[in-house]
Chain A
Amino acid sequence: MALDKPYKDIPGTTIFDADQSRKGYHLNQFCMSLMKAENRVRFKADERAYLDEWPMTEEQKQAVLSRDLNRCIAAGGNIYFLAKIGATDGKSFQQMAGSMTGMSEEEYRDMMIAGGRSIEGNRFIGEKK
């Protein structure tokens, strides 16, 4: 019997539940490995070779190589794990979060200073803004 997942109708949001976690296990554990300085050096020297040491899907590897965090999340990644890739690249959390919104870094920062993204129109998929 399918479990109730009432959070599926929230726009622009992927909840990292047990199914996503199962899908993303190796992707997220690869990210964890970047907490060690020597692994960051090896990853940066040859990203593809480093990724090939992990039993990740090709889709997960391509998502990492292209630094497409939305694609990483769709493939089971969780933002706190994916943040290790951003740290390796020298990115702030705001740069990482903003990169998923289709906004420029400046637009995103200005939106936050102006009070953030409004909840109005952002509760349900298909809701009128």
Chain B
Amino acid sequence: MARITASVYTSHVPAIGAALDLGKTGEPYWQKVFAGYEFSKAWMRDNTPDVIFLVFNDHATAFSLEMIPTFAIGCAAEFPPADEGWGPRPVPVVQGHPELAAHIAQSVIQDDFDLTIVNKMNVDHGLTVPMSLMFGQPASWPCPVIPFAVNVVQYPVPSGRRCFNLGRAIRKAVESFDAPLKVQIWGTGGMSHQLQGPRAGLINRAFDSAFLDRLIADPEGLSKMPHIDYVREAGSEGIELVMWLIARGAMSDAQPKLAHRFYHVPASNTAVGHLILENA
């Protein structure tokens, strides 16, 4: 049977991708960000999974306002990096895992989560920046990825509670897949940031720190936090953090092992947060 071995949480700031692609990683401004991922890259080499289930959000790239799926699972064989207006990032094409993706879709929909099935999708920085942070710049990505896009652009986004329960349904789906796959689940986006209006540039270090503490120790309690607390305290785009609860909900009920924790302000407009949790 397949099983979830670990979860990874990280911000997905587009400027981080640009810094990598333009060779700016040695600059002092960016060194402070990338230093937090040195451990993670070594950890990934030792713990490369068979598949990554990667929770992210599309930023008006694959989904315009023509269609706004709340939860969309990528079931394709591959997902090309998108051109977001600056040209596609020079990163490898993402290979999917259609068999496991279809299995998860079937199981999770039967568990009352109405997923949208996506068989063609370009993936933007929300997915490719976490891949670059965790794997560096290889010629091809070392394992397949199932992209899972969550609407956090048009309000209301799904609640933390729903995301946490969805994670549990994904765990059940993975555990019923009839092959001995090691699966990691990643939750991306956040932490505190606001990209719009006169309040742009908002950062709330105390909120972020408490969020990380509770995500590790009390995710169920954290999942009850209402939207308004994210928006008011962590900024209009800080609400991306609900996606971390999907990954956390997919972990075992037993307390996970904290393998790595990192926090830094700023990357462009955003607070960078990062955790690695291993299932016991």
Contacts and interface: CB of A to CB of B under 8 A. Distances in A.
B208 to A, nearest CB: 11
A13 interface: yes
A94 B199 contact: no
Contact of A25 (B14, B65, B269): B65
Nearest to A86: B85
A6 B230 CA distance: 12
B231 A123 contact: no
Contacts of B155: 7, 15-18
Interface of A: 6-7, 10-18, 21, 25, 28-29, 31-32, 34-35, 69-70, 73, 78-81, 83-84, 87-88, 92-94, 96-98, 100-102, 108, 111-113, 115-119, 122-123
A28 to B, nearest CB: 5
Contacts, number: 148
B173 to A, nearest CB: 30
B260 interface: no
Contact of B86 (A28, A87, A115): A87
B266 A70 contact: no
Q: Is the interface of A mostly helix, strand, loop or mixed?
A: helix
A78 to B, nearest CB: 6
A101 B198 contact: yes
B268 A102 contact: no
Given A13-B194, A17-B155, A80-B153, A116 B265 contact: yes
Contacts of A34: 85
10 contacts: A13-B194, A13-B199, A16-B154, A28-B60, A28-B64, A80-B60, A83-B85, A84-B85, A115-B205, A122-B202
B154 A13 contact: no
B153 to A, nearest CB: 6
Given A80-B60, A117-B203, A93 B268 contact: yes
Interface residues of B, number: 45
B85 A88 contact: yes
Contact of B154 (A6, A21, A96): A21
A28 B198 contact: no
Given A6-B228, A35-B84, A97 B195 contact: yes
A93 B269 contact: yes
A106 to B, nearest CB: 13
Contacts of A16: 153-155, 236
Given A17-B154, A73-B196, A80-B59, 13 more contacts: A7-B155, A10-B231, A15-B231, A29-B66, A78-B60, A81-B60, A93-B269, A94-B268, A101-B201, A111-B201, A112-B268, A116-B271, A118-B203
| Shortest 7 CB-CB contacts between residues of A and residues of B | A116-B203, A87-B85, A12-B199, A12-B198, A80-B60, A117-B201, A97-B200
Contacts of B228: 6-7
Interface string B199-217: 1111111110000000000
A1 B85 CA distance: 41
A14 B85 contact: no
B85 A119 contact: no
Contacts of A69: 196
Given A28-B65, A116-B271, A102 B265 contact: no
